[in-house]
C-alpha cells in the first residue's frame, strides 16, 4: 500500500513537471544567463520589494541589496523560511563557500520577510549574503517551485547547472558538485 502510494506520488509529480511549460524545469537553463535582480539583504535596514528590472552598474552596486547582474561566478540558493530541507541546504552552502575562492555565494528567501529572514540568518550564523523577496517577484522570475533550488553560474552569469532537492543539503555532495560545475570549462 505504501509502495503504491509512493509510486502514485512520483507519477503525479512527473505529470506536474511535464505540464509546466512543455516539461521545462524551474530555474534558468544551463547555457543561459542568470536573470537580473536586486533584492534587499536581511541584515540591512532596507525594508523594500525586490527589483526585477534593475540598472546594473558594477561600479556602483546596491550596498543594502543582493545584486545579480551579468557577473559571475555565483552560487545562488532559493529557499523557503519554513522548509527544513531548504534551510539545511543554506547551512551547507554557508559551510562550503570558503572553499571556492573568487565565487560569490548568496541565498534568497523566496516569499520571505525581513524580520523572519534576519532571525534565521542570526540563529544559523550564516555569513553568506542572504536577501529576502517579500512579494515573490524574484521567485516568479526564476520560476521557483521547488526547494532547495541552487543556480550555479560561471563567468558572465552563464548558468552551468541547477541543483534541486534535499541531496544538496549535505556538505560533501554539494562541495563535489559545485567543484565539478564551477571548474568545468575554465
Residue ranges per domain, the chain? Answer: 26-183
In order along its 186 residues, the chain shows pLDDT tens digits of: 544 443 333 333 444 444 444 445 688 888 888 888 889 899 888 778 888 887 777 666 667 788 887 677 999 999 999 889 999 999 999 999 999 999 999 999 988 788 899 999 999 999 999 999 989 999 899 998 888 899 999 988 899 999 998 888 888 999 999 999 988 654
With H, G, I as helix, E, B as strand and everything else as coil, classify residue 18: helix
Q: Please state the pTM of the whole predicted model.
A: 0.81
With H, G, I as helix, E, B as strand and everything else as coil, classify residue 67: strand
Superfamily the domain 26-183 falls into: Glutaredoxin (3.40.30.10)
Amino acid at each position: 500500500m505504501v509502495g503504491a502510494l509512493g509510486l502514485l506520488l512520483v507519477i503525479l509529480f512527473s505529470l506536474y513537471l511535464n505540464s509546466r511549460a512543455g516539461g521545462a524545469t524551474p530555474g534558468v537553463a544551463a547555457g543561459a544567463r542568470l536573470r537580473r535582480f536586486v533584492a534587499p539583504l536581511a541584515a540591512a535596514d532596507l525594508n523594500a520589494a525586490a527589483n526585477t528590472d534593475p540598472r546594473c552598474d558594477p561600479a556602483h552596486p546596491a550596498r543594502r541589496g543582493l545584486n545579480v547582474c551579468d557577473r559571475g561566478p555565483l552560487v545562488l540558493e532559493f529557499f523557503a523560511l519554513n522548509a527544513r530541507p531548504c534551510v539545511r541546504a543554506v547551512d551547507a552552502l554557508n559551510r562550503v563557500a570558503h572553499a571556492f575562492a573568487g565565487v560569490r555565494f548568496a541565498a534568497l528567501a523566496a516569499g520571505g520577510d525581513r524580520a523572519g529572514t534576519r532571525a534565521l540568518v542570526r540563529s544559523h550564523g550564516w555569513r553568506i549574503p542572504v536577501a529576502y523577496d517579500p512579494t515573490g517577484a524574484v521567485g516568479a522570475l526564476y520560476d521557483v517551485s521547488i526547494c532547495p533550488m541552487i543556480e550555479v553560474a560561471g563567468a558572465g552569469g552563464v548558468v552551468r547547472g541547477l541543483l534541486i532537492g534535499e541531496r544538496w543539503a549535505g556538505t560533501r555532495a554539494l562541495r563535489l558538485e559545485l567543484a565539478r560545475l564551477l571548474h568545468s570549462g575554465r
